Structure 1
């Protein structure tokens, strides 16, 4: 099987996605991010994958109704059973080739078998300097997540 490291979803932001401020609802953007990330994770692993973490979601600019939206997802790190996917959302007037980045985040997926047990994923190896920088970014975020989880421990259900 040939792994596909990245996926791009493109579509128009429709009026049904509007929030009270007249822009696309942030929840809709998060749904698109999860869909693009899932598509990327499955394309790389060849397995069903589940979202286990969405972190550092950053909304830079609003998405306007009627905009052409591009959601780009790319594998930036693989563990034994997990995939770290960087997702960028860009949007702009469909009459123009220009898109502006509106949102960024990292999603971690785990490949699972039919019983829901984690299974190994093909390993990704960085090829370029940019790839290596993104892999380091993913590793730094893993360290930060561990620190956050330690701080949250007293508040988690037992």
Structure 2
């Protein structure tokens, strides 16, 4: 892969097989789409196979009706030595017309690995715009919050 790709958008039609007991798209189906878009974004940036290391703060803002066109946008917002923070936003709209509704948001951390599953360095990303700088700061704040959460969770892990 010669050129790094920082962002990708995947589109899915919410099918009847994606339905939950409430008649909307099952959260697990949305999480699968999020992971697929995040993975494609991480691979596009790193040029390496990537594994999901962390999915944090997933927010289901609105349900997705069956039959709606779902757009999953993934964008690198921070890079570490071997990791990439990817912000994922899901929007959905009736394909017959109407505005897209923001339905879900989260940040996923992927790690680039070699054929032995060992972490390998990734190209660093440098923010260029005010929006980029704000997103990088968002990723950094989440890292700090995650440390506190992990410390708290340690008390309850077997």
TM range (shorter): over 0.9
SS of residue matched to 1:155: coil
2:38 and 2:53 map into 1 onto residues whose CA distance is 12
Q: Which runs of 5+ in 1 are unaligned?
A: none
Which 4+ runs in 1 deviate beyond 2 A? 154-157
SS of residue matched to 2:133: helix
1:97 and 1:132 map into 2 onto residues whose CA distance is 32
Please state if 1:81 is matched with 2:86: no
How much has 1:24 moved relative to structure 2?
Answer: 0.3
TM-score, structure 2 length as denominator? Answer: 0.97
TM-score, structure 1 length as denominator? Answer: 0.97
SS of residue matched to 1:37: helix
Partner of 2:66: 65
1:141 and 1:5 map into 2 onto residues whose CA distance is 20
2:120 and 2:23 map into 1 onto residues whose CA distance is 43
Q: Deviations over 1:15-38 (max 9, x none)?
A: 000000000000100000000000
Partner of 1:16: 17
Partner of 2:125: 124
2:25 and 2:65 map into 1 onto residues whose CA distance is 6
How much has 1:97 moved relative to structure 2?
Answer: 5.6
2:106 and 2:19 map into 1 onto residues whose CA distance is 21
Q: Which runs of 5+ in 2 are unaligned?
A: none
Please report the RMSD computed on the Cα atoms of aligned residues, expressed in angstroms: 0.9
Q: How many residues align?
A: 157
